Structure 1
Amino acid sequence: MKSSLVILLLLNSINCFSQETNRSEVTSVQTVVNQFFESLEKQDTVLLKKVAFMEGQIWTMNNTVSPARHRMRFFKDDLKSLKSKNTYLETAKSMDIKIHEGMAMAWVPYEFRLNGEFSHCGVDVFTLIKNEGDWKIINLSYTIDKEGCEEVNITSN
Structure 2
Amino acid sequence: MKNIFLILALAISFDCFSQQAEETDIAAVKSVVNRFFESLEKQDTVLLKELAFMEGQIWTVNNAVSPAIQRMRFFKDDLKSFPSKNSYLETAKTMDVKIHAGMAMAWVPYEFRLNGEFSHCGVDVFTLVKKDEAWKIINLSYTIDKEGCDALSTK
Task: State the TM-score, normalized to the length of structure 2.
Answer: 0.99
**Distance in 2, Cα, partners of 1:74 & 1:83:** 17
Q: Give the equivalent residue in structure 1 for 2:111.
A: 111
Tell me which residue corresponds to 2:86.
Answer: 86
* Residues 82-104 of structure 1, C-alpha deviations (whole Å, 9 max, x = no match): 21010000000000000000000
2:80 is paired with a residue whose SS is helix
SS of residue paired to 1:141: strand
The Cα of 1:131 is off from its aligned counterpart by 1.0
Distance in 2 (CA, whole Å) between partners of 1:39 and 1:149 is 23
Other-structure match for 1:122: 122
Measured in 2, the distance between the counterparts of 1:33 and 1:82 equals 19
4+ aligned runs moved over 4 Å, structure 1: none
Instruction: Specify the code of the residue in structure 1 equivalent to 2:63.
Output: N
What is residue 63 of structure 2 aligned with on the other side?
63
Q: Distance in 2 between matches of 1:148 and 1:82?
A: 30
**1:101 aligned partner, one-letter code:** A
Query: How far apart are residue 39 of structure 1 and its match?
Result: 0.2
Alignment gaps of 5+ in structure 2: none
Give, in whole Å, the separation in 2 of the partners of 1:109 and 1:82: 24
Q: Which amino acid aligns with 1:75?
A: F
Aligned to 2:17: 17
Structure 1's unaligned 5+ residue stretches are: none
CA distance in 2, matches of 1:82, 1:64: 24
- Please report how far the alpha carbon of residue 18 of structure 1 lies from its aligned counterpart in structure 2 after TM superposition: 0.5
Paired residue secondary structure (1:150): helix
Counterpart of 2:51? 51
Matches within 5 A, 1:134-145: 134-145=134-145
Q: CA deviation at 1:132?
A: 1.1
CA drift of 1:19 comes to: 0.5
Residue by residue, what CA displacement relative to the aligned partner does 1:97-156 show, whole Å, maximum 9, x if unpaired?
Answer: 00000000000000000000000000000000011111000000000000000111114x
TM-score, with length taken from structure 1: 0.98
SS in 2 for 1:12: helix
Partner SS state of residue 72, structure 1: strand
Counterpart amino acid of residue 43 in structure 2 = Q
Give the secondary-structure state (helix, strand or coil) at the position aligned to 2:56. Answer: strand
Separation (CA, whole Å) in 2 of partners of 1:60 and 1:154: 21
Q: CA shift at 1:4, angstroms?
A: 0.4
